[in-house]
């Protein structure tokens, strides 16, 4: 990635966070970057695809920070449990939006404008990793893995937004538990194992603290 493209992403992240997706325009981003608007279009075909790249960059950073912290501070150099790590990742990812109104505004407005750009183009990779490690009971001929990945992403966001609108009579923790549970149910994981995954993921977060910061940052 060129420095120019990185600069566009950084500026876009700041403006999308501060102003929201709807009130941020490519002209503004170009002006701050001191470049022309067509140059942004050279790297990103549309405003929504730029927003997706911002979301992907945050998710990539989140995954890396979680993996490193869990490896060094929880599993302590031993092989990490992918299912537990994934549960931690799912909880923290959705907690970011539920705890930060600016982040929630950005993701809602992106979904309203172009729902298909809400999801990463590499969204199936996590589920492929689970299939390789756990040999999921899925129908590969029917491409069930891709269907699972799409169903998990769409339902997770739907549940998060419904909770944020106050549609559920439950705690935020209950909602996050259910989002995690749903992801593993779609992968055909045994209910008792799902209970164990959720319980250990909570233990992880009691042992290894994470904090959210403005501009989609996590430490």
Give the N- to C-terminal CA distance of the chain in Å, as an integer.
24
The per-residue pLDDT of the chain, averaged, comes to 94
**Would you state the pLDDT for residue 118?**
87
Q: Is 215 left (phi over 0), alpha (psi -120 to 50) or beta?
A: left
pTM of the full structure? 0.93
Q: Are 184 and 72 in contact (CB under 8 A)?
A: no
User: Is residue 26 over pLDDT 70?
Assistant: yes
For residue 152, how many other CB atoms are within 10 A of its CB?
A: 21
What is the pLDDT, as a whole number, of residue 124? 86
Could you give the residue ranges of the DSSP H alpha helices within the chain?
Answer: 3-19, 26-33, 37-43, 47-69, 82-99, 101-113, 125-134, 144-164, 172-186, 191-207
Q: Does residue 27 register a pLDDT over 80?
A: yes
Q: Report the range of poorest mean pLDDT among 10-14, 29-33, 188-192, 209-213.
A: 209-213
Domain chopping of the chain, boundaries: 56-218
Per residue in 30-81, pLDDT (tens digit) is 999 999 999 999 999 999 999 999 999 999 999 999 999 999 999 987 888 9
What pLDDT sits at residue 53? 95
The 8 Å CB, 24+ separation contacts for 5-10 are 5/43, 7/33, 8/33, 8/35, 8/40, 8/43, 8/44, 8/50, 9/50, 9/53, 9/54, 9/57
The answer on pLDDT for 29 being more than 80 is yes
């Amino acid at each position: 990635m060129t420095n120019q493209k990185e600069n566009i992403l950084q500026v876009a992240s700041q403006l999308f966070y501060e102003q929201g997706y709807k009130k941020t325009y490519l002209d503004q981003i170009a002006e701050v970057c001191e470049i022309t608007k067509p140059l942004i279009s050279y790297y990103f075909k549309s405003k929504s695809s730029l927003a997706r790249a911002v979301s992907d960059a945050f998710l990539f950073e989140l995954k890396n920070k979680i993996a490193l912290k869990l490896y060094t501070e929880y599993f302590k150099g031993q092989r990490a449990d992918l299912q537990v790590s994934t549960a931690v990742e799912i909880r923290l990812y959705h907690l970011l939006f539920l705890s930060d109104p600016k982040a929630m505004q950005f993701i809602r407005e992106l979904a309203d404008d172009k729902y298909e750009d809400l999801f990463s183009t590499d969204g199936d990779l996590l589920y492929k990793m689970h299939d390789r490690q756990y040999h999921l009971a899925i129908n590969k001929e029917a491409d069930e893995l891709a269907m699972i990945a799409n169903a998990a992403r769409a339902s997770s966001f739907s549940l998060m937004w419904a909770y944020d609108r106050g549609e559920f009579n439950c705690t935020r923790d209950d909602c996050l538990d259910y989002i995690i549970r749903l992801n593993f149910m779609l992968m055909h994981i045994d209910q008792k194992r799902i209970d164990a995954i959720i319980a250990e993921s909570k233990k992880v977060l009691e042992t290894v603290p994470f904090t959210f910061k403005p501009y989609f940052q996590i430490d």
